[in-house]
C-alpha cells in the first residue's frame, strides 16, 4: 500500500506477442515523420548505422514503437535507446543530433535494460527546448541496426504527422 502512495508500485510485466515474422512500428514520438535522408548527419542520412526513418518531435517524449525488449539504455547519456523485437529486429532510437555532449542533461529514462516494453509505452522524457538550444538538431532517427541479418523487407510511411503508438511508420518483414 505504501508503494502505491509514493509511486513506487512495481510495473506489471509486459506480455510479449509471439514471433510472427512481421513487425509493425508506430510513431515513437509525436511529430513529422521524414526520410532518414533528411537527417543532417551522414552517419544517419547515409545509413552507416542502418536503414530507418526519422521524426521531428513536437514534444519531449519517446515511446516504444513496437512490443520489444530494451537491450541498450545508457545511464550516463540517456539520449538513446536500443530495442529488440520478438522477431529479432534491433532498433536504435537516437534523440537529436550531437546530444551526447549534453551528458544526460535534460533527459529522464523511464525504463531499464532487460525490461520488456509495450507498443506506445513511454521510454524517455526530455526537455525539447533544452535539446533545441544545446544540440545540433532535435530530429530523432530510428535505425534498424541489424537489417542485413534480420530484415527481408521494409515499407516506410514517411511524409505524415505521427502520433505515438498509433501512426504506422514502418512495416518490417523479418528473415
Residue 64 domain-assigned (yes or no): yes
CA distance 62 to 163: 11
Q: Residue 128's domain is classified under what CATH number?
A: 2.70.70.10
Number of domains in the chain: 1
Residue 107 domain-assigned (yes or no): yes
Give pLDDT, residue 11.
63
Residue 30 domain-assigned (yes or no): no
Q: Which residues of the chain have pLDDT under 70?
A: 1-13, 16
Give pLDDT, residue 2.
43
Give pLDDT, residue 10.
54
Residue 46 domain-assigned (yes or no): yes
Would you name the residues annotated as active-site residues? 94
Residue 106 domain-assigned (yes or no): yes
- Residue recorded with cell 537527417: 39
Residue ranges making up the domain that contains 168: 41-174
CA distance 55 to 136: 15
Give pLDDT, residue 6.
46
Residue 163 domain-assigned (yes or no): yes
What pTM value is reported for the model? 0.91
| Nearby residues of 32 by Cβ (< 8 Å), 6 or more positions away | 55, 56, 58, 160, 161, 162
54-93 pLDDT, tens per residue?
Answer: 999 999 999 999 999 999 987 777 899 999 999 999 999 9
Residue 21 domain-assigned (yes or no): no
Residue 83 domain-assigned (yes or no): yes
Of 142, 136, 61, nearest to 102 by C-alpha is 136
Amino acid at each position: 500500500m505504501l508503494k502505491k502512495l509514493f509511486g513506487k508500485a512495481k510495473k506489471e510485466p509486459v506480455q510479449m506477442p509471439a514471433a510472427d515474422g512481421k513487425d509493425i512500428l508506430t510513431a515513437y514520438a509525436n511529430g513529422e515523420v521524414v526520410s532518414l535522408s533528411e537527417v543532417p548527419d551522414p552517419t544517419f542520412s547515409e545509413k552507416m548505422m542502418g536503414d530507418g526513418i526519422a521524426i521531428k518531435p513536437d514534444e519531449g517524449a519517446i515511446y516504444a514503437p513496437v512490443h520489444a525488449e530494451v537491450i541498450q539504455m545508457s545511464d550516463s547519456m540517456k539520449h538513446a535507446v536500443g530495442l529488440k523485437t520478438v522477431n529479432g529486429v534491433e532498433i536504435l532510437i537516437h534523440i537529436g543530433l550531437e546530444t551526447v555532449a549534453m551528458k544526460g542533461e535534460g533527459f529522464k529514462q523511464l525504463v531499464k535494460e532487460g525490461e520488456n516494453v509495450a507498443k506506445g509505452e513511454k521510454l524517455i522524457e526530455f526537455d525539447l527546448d533544452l535539446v533545441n538550444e544545446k544540440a545540433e538538431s532535435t530530429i530523432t532517427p530510428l535505425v534498424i541496426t541489424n537489417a542485413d541479418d534480420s530484415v527481408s523487407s521494409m515499407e516506410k510511411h514517411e511524409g505524415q504527422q505521427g502520433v505515438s503508438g498509433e501512426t504506422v511508420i514502418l512495416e518490417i518483414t523479418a528473415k
